[in-house]
Each structure stands twice: as C-alpha cells, then as structure tokens.
Structure 1
Amino acid sequence: MLIGQVFRMLIEILQDLLVFLLVGICNPDLE
C-alpha cells in the first residue's frame, strides 16, 4: 500500500528529527 510506504517514511523522518533534537539538547555548544 502506498499509505504504508508514506507512513514508514514519516517515521524515519521523525526519528531523525528526534535524534537531532536530543543531540542539540545534550550538546548545546554545537551549532
């Protein structure tokens, strides 16, 4: 299903954003 592929893609993007935010919070010195 096309919806399944889009859903998986969104999950991957959200995971990347979560990691980026966590790294930014843990390491505020990094720009």
Structure 2
Amino acid sequence: AGETVFRIGRLEARAGVAGLRIEGLPADWPAG
C-alpha cells in the first residue's frame, strides 16, 4: 500500500512540475 502511495506522489510531483512549465517557470524549478 505504501508503495502505491509513493508512486501516486511521484505522479503528482510530475504534474506539479508540468504546471510550473506551463506557467513559464524554469523546467528545473525545485519541486516542493
């Protein structure tokens, strides 16, 4: 179960980075 949560967290982190890219921020912006 924990592993699944970890995977979902990674997907959400990627989505957040994609959102930052759409907003025009650097692609290497640190994921918080």
Question: TM-score scaled by structure 2?
Answer: 0.67
Where does the alignment leave 5 or more consecutive residues of structure 1 unmatched?
27-31
Q: Which has the larger radius of gyration?
A: 1
Report the alpha carbon displacement of residue 19 of structure 1 after superposing the two structures with TM: 0.2
More helix by share: 1
User: Relative contact order: is structure 1 or structure 2 higher (C-alpha 8 Å, sep ≥ 6)?
Assistant: 2
Any runs of at least 4 consecutive aligned residues in structure 1 with deviations exceeding 6 A, and if so which?
Answer: none
Question: Any unmatched runs of 5+ in structure 2?
Answer: 26-32
SS at match of 1:25: coil
**Percentage of pairs with the same residue:** 16
- What TM-score, normalized to structure 1? 0.68
**How many corresponding residue pairs?**
25
Superposition RMSD in Å: 1.2
